[in-house]
Chain A
Amino acid sequence: MAKILAVDDSASMRGMVAFTLRGAGHDVSEAENGQLAVDAAKGARFDLVLADVNMPVMDGLSMVRELRTMPEYKGVPILMLTTESHTDKKMEGKAAGATGWLVKPFDPEQLLATVKRVLG
């Protein structure tokens, strides 16, 4: 069981991610945007962060940059949930400090497989 933070402004996407991961026994917290995610991350140490790219208030890229300035989030896997399969868009996330990505659409099995891959 891992502590996972799911960040997405879309309640349906967030719900799907959280539901799936909880079903697999993980302890999932949710945040609606990057700013709320950073706030949540300050209070708890997550093993994995899954975040949408396009969000109001603070987008996913700024969120990753912010998290990577926190010593306790050094090395913590952060995956971007992106609809972009273009390399340059993925690389933007990587450059900001993301670990990798999961391309939308994904179904619960793909999500679980990716999470398992990251958490080992």
Chain B
Amino acid sequence: MGKAKTDKADGRVALPADCRIADLATVKAALEAALSAPAAVLDGGMVERVDTAALQLLAVFRREAAARGVAVEWRGASDVLRDGAARLGLTQTLELPAATPA
């Protein structure tokens, strides 16, 4: 199971396959690190399981990034991730793409 990873240089964060409450400490750390790059890239293409806590964390991150003027781009979002966000009414907040980019 992949851990959340950040590449300092381009602020890229890969969300783990199991992206749920018990494993969010590392995701949060990765997101905090991404905020120090000029632009952050979120890769949610591998997410197989997601819960409210994870989506809330992403929402908080987006708002924080916007406040700090850090651009955020999605490099991928799995169906699970997009379905979860939609059900919680967070699609717009997270600015998720309508479909997974090729």
Could you tell me which A residues sit within 8 Å of B by CB distance? 71-76
Contact = CB atoms under 8 A, between A and B. Distances in A.
Contacts of A74: 21-22
Most chain A Cβ neighbours within 10 Å, of B22, B25, B53: B22
Interface of B: 20-22, 25, 51, 53
Given A75-B20, A75-B53, A76-B22, 4 more contacts: A71-B25, A73-B22, A75-B21, A75-B22
B93 to A, nearest CB: 21
Nearest to A73: B22
Most chain B Cβ neighbours within 10 Å, of A73, A74, A76: A74
A120 B57 CA distance: 21
A1 to B, nearest CB: 13
Nearest to B18: A45
Which 6 pairs of residues, A with B, have the shortest CB-CB distance? A75-B21, A74-B22, A72-B22, A74-B21, A75-B22, A75-B20
